[in-house]
Amino acid sequence: MSLTDYISAFLKPLRKRATMAILAYRVRARHRTLNAHPTAIWDYGYHDLHAIELGKDVTIGAYSYILVYSRATFSDFPGRLIMGDRSAIGFGANVRAAGGTIRIGAGSAVAQNCVLIAANHAVRPGEPRFHVPWEKSDRNGIEIGSNVWVGASCVILPGAVIGNDAVIGAGSIVRGTVPPGELWAGVPARKIKTIGGERDEEPATS
């Protein structure tokens, strides 16, 4: 390797780190009450800051990865992240708001190591799995209501709608609609009980 190659290899991660620091600073400057851990990663287009809408006193945990692109290479659907007042994303979460809107209501919390995905890759016979247009349907985006608790290590799939005051048990995979005020859990998640009522069925074990 030449000296130029060594210098380039040395500078590349420094440039990447500087870029990520600038992106994080811009989010914090725009949302003055944001409580984001310094290790949280903000990945968005430089002109996409408007696609990140945070209410008052939002919390973002350590080592979370927040990706927001209003325009993505493989989708015509706009990507946005909207979080209500006092909402929170926990340690190590992966939130991918591209190809759809991810909305988290006021007072709701997404616990540690959760994954929220706004759009699916399209799957067609004989086509590459990654470099193809994403699905375009009413299943794009995620809606999480107010006062919702999403337990640790959950996966919330595109098109999921979780009603106000619902609870999602740890380790669940959520697709479709969770009505307000219900506890759901399992793979895929299903209703366990109405919160404050009797258990409807045993939790999923698979």
Residues recognised as catalytic: 121
Listing DSSP states for the chain in one string gives: --HHHHHHHHHHHHHHHHHHHHHHHHHHHH-TT-EE-TT-EEEE-TT-GGGEEE-TT-EE-TT-EEEEESSBTTBSSPPEEEE-TT-EE-TT-EEEEESSEEEE-TT-EE-TT-EEES-PBP--TTS-SSSSPBP-STT-SEEE-TT-EE-TT-EE-TT-EE-TT-EE-TT-EE-SEE-TTEEEEETTEEEEEETTS-B-SPPP--
Q: Which amino acid is at 1?
A: M
Whole-number Å distance between alpha carbons of 113 and 159: 20
